Structure 1
């Protein structure tokens, strides 16, 4: 039994090191959120047995949870680089025919040749419709639409685009050569009842699940959505010093369990060689 008990410890330490290694490797990834492995003990006995006479049977992985704490920020000279100060996430939509909706903290957006604003995976950033005063008129996923930067003023095709500005509340305004301004919408953001239940799909993107609950869609500065900082990017929330200390601890656990297996093997060999 001691073999299997120590073997479960070896597997747990290996999983712990894998999680920590993944955190360290993504320390420079924009919008990445660190993960933490959580373990629980294994204990089993029949109803008629006294638990005072039974040892545990090892450990098992309860789950790998993500830590959605705020990451540090770095300045950027691009207007389409955005960082969120709060709990919200950007809403992006994939290409047809699936047009799968995902949520991300990676605010590194660029403009494609067709003037659509996309993230690093090519998913299109979503906007919410607003009225003339900049108030959101539809805060649902069905009402959200693709962020497309106009090449010219809607009222004057000869007036070319000069600038695009993004406010703290996510209001996107386009300015043209004739001095006119056009409000394009507000950047769609989402929060969830249980952020830890989101399903990671890579590239700092997540999808909603039954464990996360349905998304609440709204604009920035509303509730826990937070504010949007244009010209900045949120780095990962990985603390290298903390991760290295945890990695050393996981290595020590692995070595200790390996020693326990070696000791059990020696005891078994001694018993077998007894005459």
Structure 2
């Protein structure tokens, strides 16, 4: 029995090491959120078992949870580098599948068709607005910039305000509203499914996305010209790495001890 108890401990320590290694590998990944493995003890006993005689059977992985604490903000100077200074996620719709992804990585660009995207054909979602910048619908749409305005002047630049208003300027000096960035929130963000590239998908655990404008209610404001870095604390991860390594070594030693005891019993002579 002790072999399997310690074997579970080895597997759990290996899982912990994998999670920590993943965090360390993504210390420079924009918008990354660190994970933490949680474990629970395994105890079994029947109805007629003396509770004072019940011994544990090891440990099991309870879950790998994500920490959505705000990461450091890095100034970049690019107008389409946007950080959320609070809660919320950018909503990105895939032009290929139509699925909506959610991210904290605000490193955006403009494609050949004028859509604001993340470079992987996922388009930023905004609330449509009138020419004055007032929201006309609460249904998010793709953010798209016209290459020329009604007067035929060419696109010259873009700005993103703290309240999410996206404005395009043109060569004749005119400015037109593109939309207002739609931020998403979830009742249980730790239930979001990681899909890579600092993107998440909603699940039954996270619940459906609730959309709102930056700077309103629970949603944070936007900071243009900046990006949110990974929230991984390298010093904390290295301490966790040492702890996980010691845990692995201790369980391996327990298996070695159980093996020696078994060998002693086998070699007994009457």
Q: TM-score, normalised by structure 1?
A: 0.95
Where does structure 1 differ by over 6 angstroms across 4 or more consecutive aligned residues? Answer: none
Aligned to 2:201: 207
Structure 2 gap segments, 5+ residues each: none
CA contact (8 A) 2:19 2:35 kept: yes
Q: Distance in 2 between matches of 1:135 and 1:121?
A: 29
Aligned to 2:184: 190
1:204-227, CA deviations, whole angstroms, 9 ceiling, x for partnerless residues? 100111111111111111111101
SS in 2 for 1:249: helix
- C-alpha deviation, 1:150, in angstroms: 1.7
Instruction: Give distance in 2, aligned partners of 1:20 and 1:179.
Output: 51
Q: Please give the secondary structure, in 1, of the residue aligned with 2:63.
A: strand
Aligned to 1:235: 229
Summarize deviations over 1:158-206 as a string: whole Å, max 9, x none.
x112221110011011111222211111011100111101111111100
Residue by residue, what CA displacement relative to the aligned partner does 1:30-52 show, whole Å, maximum 9, x if unpaired?
00000000000000011000121
Write the distance in 2 (CA, Å) between the matches of 1:255 and 1:86: 41
1:2-26 deviation per Cα after TM superposition (whole angstroms, max 9, x unaligned): 1111111101100000000000000
Q: Indicate the residue corresponding to 2:33 in structure 1.
A: 33
| Partner-residue secondary structure (3-state), 1:12 | helix
User: What does residue 57 of structure 2 align with?
Assistant: 57
CA distance in 1, matches of 2:144, 2:134: 19
Say how many residue pairs are matched: 269
Assess if the C-alpha contact under 8 Å between 2:75 and 2:225 holds in 1.
Answer: yes
Structure-1 separation of matches of 2:241 and 2:119: 30
The answer to whether the 8 A contact 2:131-2:176 is kept is: no
> How has the CA–CA distance of structure 1 residues 146 and 105 changed in structure 2, closer, same or farther, with 3 Å as cutoff?
same
- Contact 1:10–1:258 (8 Å) recurs in 2: yes
Residue 9 of structure 1 aligns to a residue in which SS?
Answer: helix
Aligned residue among 163, 166, 169 for 1:172? 166
Secondary structure of 2:56's aligned partner: coil
Aligned to 2:147: 151
Unaligned runs of 5+ in 1: none
Q: Secondary structure at the match of 2:120?
A: coil
Q: Aligned-pair RMSD on alpha carbons?
A: 1.1
Other structure's SS at 2:218 match: helix
Cross-structure match for 2:81: 81
Query: Counterparts of 2:137 and 2:20 in 1: how far apart (Å)?
Result: 41
Instruction: Output the CA distance in 1 between the equivalents of 2:55 and 2:120.
Output: 50
Partner SS for 1:225: coil
Aligned counterpart, 1:137: 136
Q: Residues 120 and 36 from structure 1, CA distance in 2 versus in 1: closer, same or farther, beyond 3 angstroms? A: farther
Matched residues in 1 for 2:199 and 2:24: separation? 18
Displacement of 1:132: 4.2
SS class of match (1:58): strand
